[in-house]
Chain A
Amino acid sequence: MKTGDLITSYLDNEMSPEQEREFLLSVAASDSLRLALKSHVMLDRIVTRQAQQVQVPGAIRDNIFAQMSASVAATPHAGPAGRAASHFDAGTIAAKSAGSIGQSILKMGRGAIVMAMTACGFATGYYVHSQLPEMQRDGVVAPTVQQTAPAVTTPSAEDIVPGVLPAPSSATHQQQSAPSRSGRSIGTISAASVRTARSAGSTVPTTSGNRTGSIADEPSSKPSGGTDTPMQSQKLHPSATPSSVEPNPLDPPASSHAPTVTSGAPSSSESQPASVSATGTIRNSNGSDQHMAPKEDPK
């Protein structure tokens, strides 16, 4: 057996009494063995001392715990115990801050206020929506139907100066309510169309669908002529059918308008776009009527 094994066995109490006696006798007789035993004991003492002296810098500990907190915060509900812990933490935080009961009441009050405001908004909207036909009938609010058919006459390309809005001529009560919108809409489209048309040479801008839609949706002013006066009187009566239309000359031919108008417009004459008369006649800017072949002749 080597010296190291002998020393280890002796220190670990693995020797029998006879072996231990022989070992101690040999230690007493041999300087090298005595030195080896001493060094072994000293080595153990050094190791024990080092284990007691080790210290960890506080910055490392803080960094590790910060990472751990971030990880737990990222996935707090990993399991049932985690849920319990998170509930416990939330309750503790609430108790520390302002009292859990007060917090709960405050949160419930806020929620109730938000819900009440939402309900009031819905109720107001419903009431206004339900009262809107009566208000329109009383003339308080411009009826939506009338706003769909104002564009009887649109300025011709010669009448429109790019960048200049056409001035309304004979504005009714309903048209005066929103003159800027109508002027802006028509002027913008027309000016843009003219610019596009002039820059593109003979190419006609394909804005018929959009223009028809915008004219039909928004109330438009009457930039010129007294030809639209009858239309105004008709527009005040929703049951009346528009009789004449003066299309924009930059529009595509009337034949190309027909499918769009007939397909997009509802069947009732009240909501039918004003650019088309009941007989399928379109009034041009020069006053001449252009007859469109109606698909179905009511007579």
Chain B
Amino acid sequence: MTPAPETRDAYDQALFARFVDGEQDAFKELYDFYERPLMLYCRHMLTTPQETQDVFQETWLRVIRIRTRKETVERFRAMLFTIARNVAINHLRDRQSNRPISLTAIDVENNRALSTGGGFDEMEDLINRAMKRLPETQREAFIMHSMLGYTFQEIAEMQGITMTGAKTRAFRARCYLRTLLSNWLGLAEEEADEHIATRSMKQQSRSYKSEGE
């Protein structure tokens, strides 16, 4: 039985307490519930699938290690994503030390050229690529708010900032992505308009020809 969202924290706390006592079914229930959100978070926070899987697995292994310390966890969800965040940041640091990447570079033209004339799948690919170029803090706030459904208060607690700061980060990320998408959609609209205009001109010319004949 899945608990209501407002009672989810208390339910998770009870599940983790049972897991600390040695119940494997409690861990299985926690894992099944948070498996996909955590994988989604890791996938957007990191670049390669290998990094994503490494961070995902390391996060759960750290949760298992916490059990041996017999610690009481009040908010399992916040703890889980805080661990994932720390592990992901460590991976990003290692990667940046080896292969620096400009996270703030906005290559709208490249993305536009890439995705011109595509459908929904290409639009999704465009968003994925654009999200990798977002600053980590903005990307994380956007993922947690838009994809995982966290409130800004919870994001602020996890990132150690104010609620306004969390809101600003998520908003900036969304603005960037929306602008990118708007440009793509605008380009598509322009192309559509051009296509319609061309088509109408052809039709007009045909009508003129038919009238002349």
Interface residues of A (CB under 8 A from B): 4, 32, 35-36, 38-40, 42-47, 49-51, 54-57, 60-61, 63-65, 67-69, 71-72, 74-83, 85-86
Contacts and interface: CB of A to CB of B under 8 A. Distances in A.
Interface string B18-53: 101111100110010001110110010000000001
B120 to A, nearest CB: 8
A42 B123 contact: yes
B186 A35 contact: yes
Contacts of B146: 43-44, 47
A68 B64 contact: yes
B178 A43 contact: yes
Given A64-B57, A65-B31, A68-B64, 14 more contacts: A35-B185, A40-B178, A43-B146, A43-B178, A46-B124, A49-B124, A56-B39, A60-B57, A71-B65, A75-B22, A75-B68, A78-B67, A81-B21, A81-B22
Contacts of B36: 51, 54-56
A54 B174 contact: no
A64 B171 contact: no
Interface residues of B, number: 46
A78 B22 contact: yes
Contacts of A55: 36, 39
A79 B182 contact: no
Contacts of B20: 78-79, 82
Contacts of B185: 35, 38-39, 42
A32 B183 CA distance: 10
Q: Chain A CB within 10 Å — which of B65, B70, B175, B182 has the most? A: B182
Nearest to A38: B185
A67 B23 CA distance: 14
A49 B36 CA distance: 13
Contact of A43 (B17, B148, B174, B189): B174
Given A4-B171, A42-B181, A64-B57, A71 B68 contact: yes
A36 B178 contact: yes
A40 B173 CA distance: 12
Nearest to A63: B57
Q: Chain A CB within 10 Å — which of B127, B174, B179 has the most? A: B174
Interface of B: 17-18, 20-24, 27-28, 31, 35-37, 39-40, 43, 53, 56-57, 60-61, 64-65, 67-68, 70, 120, 123-124, 127-128, 146-148, 171, 174-175, 177-179, 181-182, 184-186, 189
Q: Chain A CB within 10 Å — which of B57, B178, B179 has the most? A: B178
Given A40-B178, A67-B64, A71-B64, A54 B21 contact: no
A85 B18 CA distance: 10
Nearest to B58: A64
Nearest to B35: A56
Contacts of A39: 178-179, 181-182, 184-185
15 contacts: A35-B186, A42-B123, A42-B181, A43-B127, A44-B146, A46-B123, A51-B37, A51-B40, A56-B36, A60-B53, A64-B57, A67-B60, A72-B24, A78-B22, A83-B22
Contacts of A49: 124
Contact of B22 (A36, A45, A76): A76
Contacts of A43: 127, 146, 174, 177-178, 181
B147 A35 contact: no
A80 B21 contact: yes
A39 B181 CA distance: 5
Contact of A67 (B61, B70, B184, B186): B61
